[in-house]
Amino acid sequence: MTPPTVTLAKALNTALRHAMREDDRTLVLGEDVGTLGGVFRVTDGLTEEFGEERCFDTPLAESAIIGTAVGMAMYGYRPVVEMQFDAFAYPAFEQLVSHVAKFRSRTRGALPLPLTVRIPYGGGIGGVEHHSDSSEIYYMATPGLTVVTPATVADAYSLLRRSIASPDPVVFLEPKRLYWQKDEVALPVDTGPLGWAAIRRPGTDATLVTYGPTLPVALAAAEAAAEHGRSLEVVDLRTLSPFDEDTVAASVRRTGRAVVVHEAHGFAGPGAEIAARITERCFYHLEAPVRRVTGLDVPYPAPLLEGHYLPDVGRILDAVERLEWPATPRTSGAAA
């Protein structure tokens, strides 16, 4: 029997539904998450099934959403909060950094905070300004937070369940442009614990390290490269912090070359940390410096310009070609 076709947004919705059915301590709160079902419909039908005390609309105040969830978690609930868009989460940044990330440490384990902060992030959907930021580095730079981002429908379900079940606070970043991506998946599904990367495509010549919104781009680049005789391995990090060095290092040691691909800014971005760790772990295996293909170092552009901002197949293939390949004759030229 063929499994049903599910969108990534529906998989997230199902994950919330299953988590709420299994544990009545699980609460969902945020702006428009009730009657409307969230602007991306990820919380669709939850108030209907679980009532207004389990899934409810808060006043329009992001710091309040996360700050009150802290109090709820202190009292034994497992809140899942929705930030409506990436850049709308910034008013809550102090709560996340000063309190959510530090509560376990400040209280020496007496008050861990099992709360999940869902943030739709990234561009590629033609959004106007403040609706397309890649904000992951801010959370990755904060000890105490676990930062997760799914790129497949199965991972969307499984990683959200794992995040809600985590005894630690999780920033769960949902790639907006993948919400409507479909796959045949029978839910529930378990794709493994947080903290582990997945090899999405095996290869032998170079490793593309990526996550979230740019996984499909990296896979398309690997497909295109294969047509030109380059075998690229694609690693999907899935959890950005803690970072799965072992899977990445093992891949790069096999291939000897690496390109980090992400939509966030390049300067002091996630790729800087990843490239540094690859260099530390794999220096004697590397045939070339680790390269990065990232969003440009500008504020996220107006929608009609985002195609120039976002990493695409061409930029990835160009970076791959700069990985100091031996000057052996090749049957066909690589795309530039």
Partner 1 sequence: MTVLDAPAPHAAPRAPADARTALRLYRAMVVGRAFDRTATAFTRQGRLAVYPSSRGQEACQTGSVLALRPTDWIFPTYRESVALLTRGIPAEDVLTLFRGDRHCGYDPAAHRTAPQCTPLATQCLHAAGLADAARMRGDDVVALAYIGDGATSEGDFHEAVNYAAVRRAPVVFFVQNNQYAISVPIAKQTAARSLADKAPGYGATGVQVDGNDALAVHAAVTEAARRARAGAGPTLIEAMTYRLEAHTNADDDTRYRSADEVAAWSAKDPVARLERTLLDDGVLDAAAVAETAASADALTAALRRDFAEPPRRDPMEMLRHVYHQPPHHLREQAALLAGAADEADGADGDGAAAARGGEHR
Which residues, numbered 159-178, are part of the site for partner 1 (CB under 8 A)? Answer: 166-168
Q: Could you write out the DSSP letters of every residue in 99-114?
A: IITTHHHHTTTSS---
Residue from 3, 126, 143, 202 that binds partner 1 (CB under 8 A)?
Answer: 143
Map residue 183 onto helix, strand or coil: strand
Residue count, binding to partner 1 (CB under 8 A): 52
Q: Which of 331, 296, 302, 298 is nearest to 130 (CA)?
A: 302
**Torsion over CA: 214, 220, 222, 225 (sign):** negative
139 binds partner 1 (CB under 8 A): no
Active-site residue flag, 285 = no
Map residue 174 onto helix, strand or coil: strand
Closer residue to partner 1 in complex, CB, 108/326: 108
69 binds partner 1 (CB under 8 A): yes
Within the chain, how many helices (H) and strands (E) appear? 12, 14
Least distance from partner 1 to the Cβ atom of residue 50, Å: 12
In sequence order, which residues have a C-beta less than 8 Å from that of residue 27 and are 6 or more positions away? 53, 54, 55, 56, 72, 77, 78, 79, 80
Least distance from partner 1 to the Cβ atom of residue 68, Å: 3
Closer residue to partner 1 in complex, CB, 70/225: 70
296 binds partner 1 (CB under 8 A): no
CA distance 164 to 15: 9
Site string for partner 1, 244-263 (x = CB under 8 A): -xx--xx--x----------
Closer residue to partner 1 in complex, CB, 77/309: 77
99 binds partner 1 (CB under 8 A): yes
Please identify, among the stretches 90-98, 127-135, 199-207, 301-309, the one whose residues bind partner 1 according to the rule CB under 8 A: 90-98
Q: Which of 175, 167, 168, 169 is nearest to 150 (CA)?
A: 175
Residue 77 corresponds to which tokens in the numbers above?
A: 């609930």
289 binds partner 1 (CB under 8 A): no
Closer residue to partner 1 in complex, CB, 99/228: 99
Map residue 30 onto helix, strand or coil: strand
- How many CB atoms lie under 10 A from the CB of residue 111? 12
280 binds partner 1 (CB under 8 A): yes
Residue from 5, 98, 184, 307 that binds partner 1 (CB under 8 A)?
Answer: 98
Site string for partner 1, 46-65 (x = CB under 8 A): -------x----xx-x-xx-
Residue from 32, 39, 41, 68 that binds partner 1 (CB under 8 A)?
Answer: 68
Q: Could you write out the DSSP letters of every residue in 281-334?
A: HHGGG-SS--EEEEE-SSSPPPGGGHHHHS--HHHHHHHHHTS-------SSPP
Residue from 242, 299, 307, 314 that binds partner 1 (CB under 8 A)?
Answer: 242
Cβ(92)–Cβ(65) below 8 Å: yes
Paired with 239 in beta bridges are 148
Please identify, among the stretches 109-117, 157-165, 261-269, 318-326, the one whose residues bind partner 1 according to the rule CB under 8 A: 109-117
35 binds partner 1 (CB under 8 A): no
User: Taking the CA of residue 84 as centre, how many other CA atoms within 13 Å lie in the half-sphere pointing to its CB?
Assistant: 20
Residue 249 corresponds to which tokens in the numbers above?
A: 């290092």
Please identify, among the stretches 66-74, 148-156, 182-190, 292-300, the one whose residues bind partner 1 according to the rule CB under 8 A: 66-74
Closer residue to partner 1 in complex, CB, 145/187: 145
Residues that bind partner 1 (CB under 8 A): 53, 58-59, 61, 63-64, 66-72, 74-77, 91, 94-95, 98-99, 103-112, 143-144, 146, 166-168, 195, 242-243, 245-246, 249-250, 253, 279-281, 283-285
Which amino acids are annotated catalytic? 131
